[in-house]
Amino acid sequence: MTITLAFDVYGTLIDTHGVVVALENHVGNKAPEFSRTWREKQLEYSFRRGLMQNYENFARCTSDALDYTSSYFKVSLSEKDKQELLDAYKVLPAFDDAKEGLERAKKSGFRMFAFSNGSANAVETLLTHAGIRDYFLGVVSVDEVKTFKPNPGVYCHFLRRAAATGADAWLISSNPFDVIGALSAGMRAAWVKRSPDALFDPWGIEPTLTVSTLLTIGEQIDQEYRIT
């Protein structure tokens, strides 16, 4: 049976810290720290909305997180400034290994989907701008079920949309919460450990596979886990 790969988008294929360049125009040398805080709050707000069952899409979480981060760093942003930064989030760059890694995985014959907390339209725009949209059979968004990763219903929704089963479906993500969520829902999962300092949550749930780059992920899954 052909293996299905679900690629997380933000932080795995697309570098969310690519917004630093735009931030430098507003916060100067605080840009890297501002970017990290913005990303952390964005995820926190999605977690909280999922638990509260008070859904707003990922763009709203991103906007609210920007408001929080601006207040935290005592930076006054005009509506124009804020919109400029939110627009920058729509055209973030892909990681350097994304295109070649996807190309190699595609040549290995995997069924490949983008699977994201972002809305389908936002992800389509992002992937197209990054030049990697054509590697995927489709985009599966949590927006379709009005909740966020790591809700188990989100991973079940992916399996339904991709016409796959847990035994032959993999999540590929750099986010430990996402990897643990997929494993808990019966999928296999590869953790993309993009930094040697990155830590995986000590929950007693380990990734099926850990890699440091997307370049070899297709070959590793093909060699070690191909279902025949």
Q: Which residues are catalytic?
A: 8
How far from chain centre, in Å, is Cα 202? 21
The answer to whether the beta carbons of residues 152 and 185 sit under 8 Å apart is yes
Taking the C-alpha atoms of residue 7 and residue 217, their distance in angstroms, rounded to an integer, is 11
Read out DSSP for the chain? ---EEEE--BTTTB-GGGGHHHHHHHHGGGHHHHHHHHHHHHHHHHHHHHHHT----HHHHHHHHHHHHHHHTT----HHHHHHHHHHHTTPPBPTTHHHHHHHHHHTT-EEEEEESS-HHHHHHHHHHHT-GGG-SEEEEGGGTT--TT-HHHHHHHHHHHT--GGGEEEEES-HHHHHHHHHTT-EEEEE--STT-----SS---SEEES-STTHHHHHHHHH---
Tokens of 2: 């052909």
